[in-house]
Amino acid sequence: MDQKERQILVSIISSVLIIGAYVLYVYQRQVAGNFEILDDFSFWGKTFLKLIPVAIVAQIVIHIIYAIINRIITNEDIPSKDDERDKLIELKSIQISHWIFVSGFVTAMVFLALGSKPSVMFITIFVSGFIACMVSEIAKFIFYRRGF
Amino acid sequence: MGKCLIKNNIRKLRFMADELTQQELADRTGVTRQTIMAIENGKYSPTLELAFKIALVFEVPLNEVFSYDAGEEITKSEK
């Protein structure tokens, strides 16, 4: 397994851990026993806005820790720049994640049109965003594994 | 993913260049060793710029490094 593949695996695992921990935290602190809050628009606004800096900082910290451990174990540096194949793989995986997220967004709008609660729409958008992120990383991993 | 129709002689040229390693070729063309490996195995077709850089490293014309295997495509279009 090369450096890029290991980095992608770290990204997948860290994303699952960060999102899992954040959802659990929000559920325990605000949602448990108070399900009416799910239909409060400001709750969703705050939840999404807080997730962005939390996820960015946590990803940076995890990647720094990974880089240090990787350097100690393999004595190799993480490549600092991407070449043309890396960029093409990145583009293809972004394209896949874009379509998944758009599908999730359309599904959320269908739920709204059918008269579902706003919470269903927000949960659908959140879940589709997470799935899009995961599928994008998995697609990248597959592209690197098979060459392109 | 379609079959790669661009063939290459990179392995042979590396051997003739005093067994130049994939890493050395990668360093001299500004890409990663994995990209050189993918090109050599016919899994990735490089851009024209990278193809010229590889040819420059071996000091040979581009068509001595890469060739286009159009036989299969011509057979398909004739059907």
Q: Do B35 and A85 touch (CB under 8 A)?
A: yes
The CATH number given to whatever domain includes residue B25 is 1.10.260.40
B48 is in which domain, residue-wise? 6-78
Give domain status of residue B1, yes or no: no
CA separation, residue B14 to residues A111, B23, B46 (Å): 59, 11, 17
ipTM of predicted complex: 0.79
Q: Do B34 and A2 touch (CB under 8 A)?
A: yes
Give domain status of residue B24, yes or no: yes
Measured between alpha carbons, how far is A60 from B58 in angstroms, rounded to an integer? 41
Query: Using one digit for the tens of pLDDT, what is the confidence trace for B9-61?
Result: 999 999 999 999 999 999 999 999 989 999 999 999 999 999 999 999 999 99
Q: Identify all chain B residues contacting A147, using CB atoms and an 8 Å cutoff.
A: 37-38, 41, 43-44
- For chain A, the distance separating the N- and C-terminal CA atoms, rounded to the nearest angstrom, is 15
Taking the CA of residue B25 and the nearest CA in chain A, the distance in Å comes to 14
Taking the CA of residue B40 and the nearest CA in chain A, the distance in Å comes to 10
